[in-house]
Structure 1
């Protein structure tokens, strides 16, 4: 078994230690030393840097980026329906999805310190399951440095396109960890049919559901109620995630509190990309109730938006700003949302700098965790699965 010692690092800003790695996992943390290592053991000098677990991107769209291509000007209407139509009209000309384009996105994630992603992958009548195959092949090219979990995502709607539910069923049968959904009221305009269809597939295959909800206010709350009811009836506790869910931060106290209690009871989690004009989430109450919150990059330079660079630390900074974070302990909690607390989004029992965890570490030139979030400095070193995979922002693979 290959061995590595990552010397003189400060996990979460604590006292310096050496991280002993065996194979893909962390074997031990020992006091920092300069003693010679045993023959054959690779030694990586951490230089006293701050060490964080590898970032976990809980909401990506790695299959649909034009990163690395010539600039693509924004076109089409700036509505959900408009973006769907524009993407369907243009993606073929850009060769989306493709293995090469997806690999370029994964490399951007990796050089910024992301070592695990949960990626929504478009599944529709035009591309079938090609995007899922492209994502798996791209990840294989990086030899598993970025571990990927697939959400088969019906970006063009579920019920309004005959055959999409069959594609989702096939994706789940072939190993997709989750199936997605999209705005049951606004896109399909038949929330009962969409949700019944999705929950039927999830029950049949034992997969999760990760559903995009953009509706605000009472309409968004109504969709939450429908999902809660179906989780109770199907017993899919702990297997449903709501992405975006903009309505939650807009609801009045009593209604919000009632929903939070039900989310907690049923293990319904949340993922957000912390858009700057959205209503802040009740994230402290969610944390106290054990409701999972994951951070994600969403799309990176795709046909929905020209923004994004794959850096989850910048998303953490946006989250901190949106929620008015000021105190050191709250900055640390935000960093945990992007790292250790996000283990559930990629089905890991533990994801941290502790013995027994996969050896995924990010080293940064920062005094402490708050300093790292506020400045988002270049990643000095990235270790993934016990291998040094990036240095000074450049992927070594």
Structure 2
């Protein structure tokens, strides 16, 4: 596969040769026809050492568009969405528990079944430029494994178009309802990739027992951990310290993520110690770019060596009317809510939404080194590409054109916001 006339991160125009699921050659545009040498290695080999056939079987005309790594949705709830369905008034109340009960009362009543809803939304995300997803699936005494099975089915339906990592998520906590911990373990046996947790202090009111269950299962099954943390101020910092302590004790550096965690950064006098603690334990963080006072400072996290990604959370669901399956929109929201105006910072928001999140789902992917880092389009990088109309990366984020072509593992999977 050859991709002609694209501008990686808005730079000079190049042609890309894709082979074996990675970028194998990078030429200045037109250089292949003139015999000029490519940048980087002139051939790639498979893992078994055999030579790959690099003769292009297809050509994509980039038409001078930007070339970016595809988006990674590092925090979404595919099982919690009404995207594409008739709008309904918001009926949720304040607080996680009240919102959870509202979702529990309504999620089975949607106009179409949950597997179809999940599969449709995942397809919509892919069509808009996302090819790596970490999705939560609610597992509790009400849903059992039904919502998990829907996410696993959607992953299978789109297995050639996207990588989907599934988190077994105890939205109702682990201690408030008898049998919750058993359902969480059953979810891991059924195929979930990651163990979820939530608000050990404010929801379950027993952080030691809650984290005993979560990290006990992590040790038993050898799985990563992803904990929702909405807890405020010193209470959130206390939970974070307990999470870091267990991460280090179990040697799980690089395998733990705190989702949300906005209130951890409300007191500027405590940020430095927190950043150091997160970096020491290599605990990643994920933002959904919320409004309001609290922010997740992705530039400070990156500078401190902390992996950070972006996600869409639930989308037009029983929790919130926001969300549409488009990570480009959510990246604009991240830049806007953080008050970014300088091009370098706006481009950093795009880097967080692409390679930043990818390094969470796959810790083997090199993390962002600083706010100026623009990785993902060199020889040897995954051939997961978004071709996007725009003069610059910043203008493309402002305009959010529908002129997009999405490649995954060197194959076109979507064009013009439609799956191929």
CA distance in 2, matches of 1:383, 1:171: 31
Structure 1: tracts of 5 or more residues without a match: none
Worse overlay, 17-26 or 307-316: 17-26
Partner in structure 1 of residue 275 of structure 2: 260
CA distance in 1, matches of 2:388, 2:164: 24
Question: Do the aligned partners of 1:98 and 1:131 also contact (CA within 8 Å) in 2?
Answer: yes
1:25 aligns with 2:22: yes
Q: How much does 1:355 deviate?
A: 2.6
CA distance in 1, matches of 2:277, 2:222: 22
Partner in structure 2 of residue 131 of structure 1: 147
Q: How much does 1:344 deviate?
A: 1.9
Partner in structure 2 of residue 390 of structure 1: 414
Question: Do the aligned partners of 2:288 and 2:312 also contact (CA within 8 Å) in 1?
Answer: yes
Question: Do the aligned partners of 1:263 and 1:291 also contact (CA within 8 Å) in 2?
Answer: yes
Question: Do the aligned partners of 1:25 and 1:356 also contact (CA within 8 Å) in 2?
Answer: yes
Q: How much does 1:172 deviate?
A: 2.8
Q: How much does 1:21 deviate?
A: 1.5
Question: Do the aligned partners of 2:23 and 2:382 also contact (CA within 8 Å) in 1?
Answer: yes
Partner in structure 2 of residue 47 of structure 1: 63
Partner in structure 1 of residue 135 of structure 2: 119
1:315 aligns with 2:330: yes
CA distance in 1, matches of 2:175, 2:169: 13
Alignment of 1:1-397 (within 5 A): 4-33=1-30, 35=33, 41-94=57-110, 98-253=114-269, 255-347=270-362, 349-350=364-365, 352-396=376-420
User: Secondary structure at the residue paired with 1:137?
Assistant: helix
User: Secondary structure at the residue paired with 2:78?
Assistant: coil
Question: Do the aligned partners of 2:388 and 2:405 also contact (CA within 8 Å) in 1?
Answer: yes
Question: Do the aligned partners of 1:152 and 1:178 also contact (CA within 8 Å) in 2?
Answer: yes
CA distance in 2, matches of 1:88, 1:138: 21
Question: Do the aligned partners of 2:6 and 2:15 also contact (CA within 8 Å) in 1?
Answer: yes
**RMSD of aligned Cα (Å):** 2.1
User: Secondary structure at the residue paired with 1:59?
Assistant: strand
CA distance in 1, matches of 2:399, 2:234: 38
Question: Do the aligned partners of 1:59 and 1:272 also contact (CA within 8 Å) in 2?
Answer: yes
User: Secondary structure at the residue paired with 1:186?
Assistant: coil
User: Secondary structure at the residue paired with 1:356?
Assistant: coil
Question: Do the aligned partners of 2:68 and 2:387 also contact (CA within 8 Å) in 1?
Answer: yes
* Per-residue Cα deviation, 1:65-110 (whole angstroms, up to 9, x for no partner): 1222222322142332221111111112227872211111112211
Question: Do the aligned partners of 1:153 and 1:179 also contact (CA within 8 Å) in 2?
Answer: yes
* Per-residue Cα deviation, 1:11-40 (whole angstroms, up to 9, x for no partner): 11111111112243322222222849x987
Question: Do the aligned partners of 1:112 and 1:379 also contact (CA within 8 Å) in 2?
Answer: no
CA distance in 1, matches of 2:134, 2:117: 17
Q: How much does 1:357 deviate?
A: 2.8
Q: State the TM-score, normalizing by the size of structure 1.
A: 0.93
* Per-residue Cα deviation, 1:260-284 (whole angstroms, up to 9, x for no partner): 1111010011000111114233433
Q: How much does 1:230 deviate?
A: 1.8
Question: Do the aligned partners of 1:246 and 1:278 also contact (CA within 8 Å) in 2?
Answer: no
CA distance in 1, matches of 2:362, 2:184: 20
User: Secondary structure at the residue paired with 1:366?
Assistant: coil
Q: How much does 1:127 deviate?
A: 2.2
* Per-residue Cα deviation, 1:323-357 (whole angstroms, up to 9, x for no partner): 22222222221111011222222216348222333
Residues matched between the structures, number:
391
